[in-house]
Structures are given as C-alpha cells and as structure tokens.
Amino acid sequence: MLFEGNDLEDTTETPARRDSSTVVDETILESVVTLLESVRDHSIIGRALRGELHVRRAGSRVAGVDLGARLCTSDRLGDKLFHPPYIERTTKTRGYVESHPNRAVVQGAFADMKQLADRFDFRVTVVIAPSAPRVYQSHFAQLPACEDLHVARFLAALADGQGFAHVDLLPLMLQHSKEKLLFFRDDSHFNSLGHKVVAEAIISRLTSGQAHTDQVCLQRITLSRGRGERHSHYASGMPLASSGHTMSEIALTDKAD
C-alpha cells in the first residue's frame, strides 16, 4: 500500500554501506568510520541534499496551545485534525510530481519489486491510498481545493509499467465519506471503519477475475483462524507479523460475525 500523503515526499533511498571486508573491521577505527557514516546520513546538509527537510507548517491553536495540526469543522462530521503537510501536498501540481527529487527512488523501488516478483514467482498488487484532506476536502470548508490526482496517477503508471495490478481506494472511500469519518479525528491513519472499507476493496480486487491461488489464500485465512492459529496468515502475500492479522482477515471476521 502506497499513501498519497508521504510515499513520494518522505521516501528516501537506503544509504549505501561500506564493504564489510575492509581493514578497519573489528578495530577502533570501525567505530570512527561508523560515526562518520552516521553524520553523513543524518546531518542537516545531507538530509537537505536528499530533499528530506521540510518547513513546519503552522497548525491551529486552542486556548493558546499549538495543536500541530489544522482543526477543521463540518456540520455533518464534526471536528477533525488534519496534518498540514498532507493538506499542502493535495494542492501540488503535476510539475511538482514530475520534478520531485524522490521520483527516481520510487521508480527504483518498483523495479526492485519487479525483480523480486520474477525471481520468487509472486504477483504484486499496488494499493494506492488517498490522504484524509483529499477524501474530505468537500466536507470541511477550511480545506483548500485539491489539485488533480498527480501522485496517484504517477504510482498507477509505475504499476502498469511493471505489470502490477493496482487498486485506487479513492472512489470507494469517497462513497463512504459522506456520513462517517474513515480516519481518526486526531490522526491521519484509518480508523476501524476505514480499515474495513479498505480491506473489502482489496478482497474484491483479489477475488474478482484473479487466479485460483488468490482464493486459496483467502480460504487459508479462515481455516487457520478456525484452528486458533495467529501467525503466517496471508491475503496478498503480506503477513502482519506484529498482530498476526491481515486487513483482509479483519474484513472476513467482520462479515462472519
């Protein structure tokens, strides 16, 4: 899953590390070299050259306290905090995306995933998630008008170029956004309803016109849960090791209950 809000701007290339077979290994000089590498990778100058530094945008103030986010109000949906950088990024033009310094890094990540998919014989489905400001722009008068879907189209084009399937979550999320919030009121992540909507969209994509192996994976989740197992569950080739659940698994559980 790639997120419109930060997977272009906040994506960084993994710094190249030195060859572990150098003469300084296991000597006091190794610590010095490691320190210098850390300074290179995390210094202000290094981060600026890689386009990782961003100007902090002012948020709303309540009772003299800076919330660090913009507080917006909707007659129908109530109050919600929106992350200022995500608001700003929905207003960026096509030229911004085409000239972004991280564009080549994202392209390289897709190429690397294609090599892995070919090597280990698995299919890739790219899920493109919109940010909360784009989903709710028409419901909160304080939010600016959004530019076109330049980041989403860039990611979809990369997926097509590598032969990956892709799912755009925006249309479905717009349908569900009219009555309820799909994101936490004080956070930029999906809430429980948002996860359910997203999971159902992914399941629909994997089970409509796909190979039998996708359906077998989904059936395997149900059977594994019936035996009480909480590990190695797969829906689209991605386990969630920390919780033992997948997004599709959550949706299946909701339907079963």
- Share the mean pLDDT of the chain: 75
**Three-state SS for 27?**
coil
Q: How confident is the model at residue 153 (pLDDT cuts 50, 70, 90)?
A: very high
**The two three-digit tokens of residue 142, written as one number:** 């304080």
pLDDT band (50, 70, 90) for residue 178: confident
Check pLDDT > 70 for residue 237. Answer: no
The residue among 192 and 40 whose pLDDT is bigger is: 192
Q: Which two tokens stand for residue 24?
A: 């300084």
Q: How far apart are CA 174 and CA 172, in angstroms?
A: 5
- Provide the pLDDT for residue 91: 95
Average pLDDT over residues 232-256: 37
Q: What is the pLDDT of residues 66-97, one digit of tens each?
A: 656 889 999 999 999 999 999 999 999 999 99
Once rounded to an integer, what is the mean pLDDT over residues 213-224?
36
CB 2 within 8 A of CB 126: yes
The two most distant CA atoms of the chain are separated, in Å, by 67
pLDDT digits (tens, 9 = 90+) for 104-125: 999 999 999 999 999 999 999 9
